[in-house]
């Protein structure tokens, strides 16, 4: 990607979406993102595997929800689309499945629009997900998602970019909207004692916080019990909130299984009783 003529895109600061794209081997990132990501990779090389494992969790969670009959998804902080997006997984099983992606990042949204062109059942909205009421009332959401039916809510690799008040507001809205049989999937970066087992880890997370503080997306790492509390009003399905690679792995080659704690992320899926 070149940096010329991109009026809405700030190429002077790294962005979480573009750094994540770089970790995943994508091309929708700029020098400023690569420099920031490389700085973090130097001290915390697991961040690349963490991104891969997080995407793999998302795919397993969506496949699980589709197997439970979910045919509509609201995906907050959806990121720059790389292979194996929510709509591809869901529509491979059910071509009528509907997906609304939401991301604040203009690069993520531009690529999302390009990929989704001609797909009547999936769209992407550029918005700050903390304006959750505005998102719910958005015409595309109203057209594609019928909240009187079970819905899949996704906040995968997302809430650790949102302050406490924003997370609370989004979760309250999900809780009040979701009918019985809806699902909520969350993965979340954490600085829990289970993860921070040595000084090097602690140092790596301090560096991560400093790097993301330079972007529009500062990091809010949370403890395991705080992430568990996000499922209030939902019942965690087996195996509960676990290190991301341990959530229903599909094979022994699944990413991150050799050292799940090292990837620094918890993940879980809850059902609305």
Contact residues for ligand SAM (CB under 6 A)? 16-17, 20, 54-55, 58, 77-79, 102-105, 108, 128-130, 156-158, 161-162, 217
| Nearer Cβ to ligand SAM (88/273) | 88
Q: What distances in angstroms separate CA 112 from CA 44, 54, 77, 86, 180, one per listed residue?
A: 29, 19, 12, 12, 30
Please enumerate in sequence order all residues whose Cβ is within 8 A of that of 111, keeping only pairs 6 or more positions apart, or say none.
28, 80, 81
| Contact (Cβ atoms closer than 8 angstroms) between residue 129 and residue 162 | yes
| Nearer Cβ to ligand SAM (79/249) | 79
CB of 169 to ligand SAM, least distance (A): 11
| Nearer Cβ to ligand SAM (77/245) | 77
CB of 129 to ligand SAM, least distance (A): 4
**CA distance linking residue 167 with residue 165, whole number of Å:** 6
Scan for tokens 């929510």, then name that residue.
86
- Report the DSSP pairing between strands 265-271 and 183-189: antiparallel
| Residue 62: burial class (beta carbons within 10 Å; 0-12, 13-18, 19+) | buried
CB of 148 to ligand SAM, least distance (A): 25
What 3-state DSSP class applies to 72?
strand
CB of 180 to ligand SAM, least distance (A): 25
CB of 13 to ligand SAM, least distance (A): 12
| Nearer Cβ to ligand SAM (46/217) | 217
- Report the DSSP pairing between strands 72-76 and 152-156: parallel
| Contact (Cβ atoms closer than 8 angstroms) between residue 12 and residue 31 | no
**CA distance linking residue 270 with residue 273, whole number of Å:** 9
CB of 160 to ligand SAM, least distance (A): 8
Residue of minimal CB distance from ligand SAM? 79
CB of 76 to ligand SAM, least distance (A): 6
| Nearer Cβ to ligand SAM (216/240) | 216
| Contact (Cβ atoms closer than 8 angstroms) between residue 150 and residue 70 | yes
- Rounded to 10 degrees, the C-alpha dihedral 72/77/83/88 comes to 10
DSSP 8-state code for residue 78: -
| Nearer Cβ to ligand SAM (270/273) | 270
| Nearer Cβ to ligand SAM (103/228) | 103
């Amino acid at each position: 990607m070149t940096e010329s003529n991109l009026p809405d895109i700030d190429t002077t600061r790294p962005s979480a979406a573009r750094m994540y794209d770089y970790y995943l081997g994508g091309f929708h990132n700029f020098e400023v993102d690569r420099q920031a990501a490389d700085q973090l990779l130097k001290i915390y090389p697991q961040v690349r595997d963490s991104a891969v494992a997080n995407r793999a969790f998302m795919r397993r969670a969506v496949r699980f929800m589709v197997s439970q009959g979910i045919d509509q998804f609201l995906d907050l902080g959806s990121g720059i689309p790389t292979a194996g997006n929510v709509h591809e997984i869901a529509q491979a099983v059910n071509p009528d499945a509907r997906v609304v992606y939401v991301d604040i990042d203009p690069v993520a949204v531009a690529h999302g629009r390009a990929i989704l062109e001609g797909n009547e059942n999936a769209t992407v909205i550029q918005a700050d997900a903390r304006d959750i009421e505005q998102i719910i009332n958005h015409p595309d959401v109203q057209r594609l998602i019928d909240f009187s039916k079970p819905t899949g809510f996704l906040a995968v690799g997302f809430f650790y970019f949102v302050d406490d008040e924003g997370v609370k507001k989004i979760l309250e809205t999900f809780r009040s909207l979701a009918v019985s049989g809806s699902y909520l999937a969350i993965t979340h970066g954490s600085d829990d004692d289970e993860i921070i087992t040595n000084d090097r880890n602690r140092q790596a997370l301090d560096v991560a916080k400093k790097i993301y503080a330079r972007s529009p997306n500062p990091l809010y790492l949370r403890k395991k019990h705080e992430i568990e509390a996000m499922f209030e009003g939902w019942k965690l399905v087996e195996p509960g909130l676990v290190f991301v690679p341990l959530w229903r792995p599909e094979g022994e080659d699944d990413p991150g299984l050799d050292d799940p704690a090292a990837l620094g992320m918890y993940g879980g899926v809850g059902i609305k009783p």
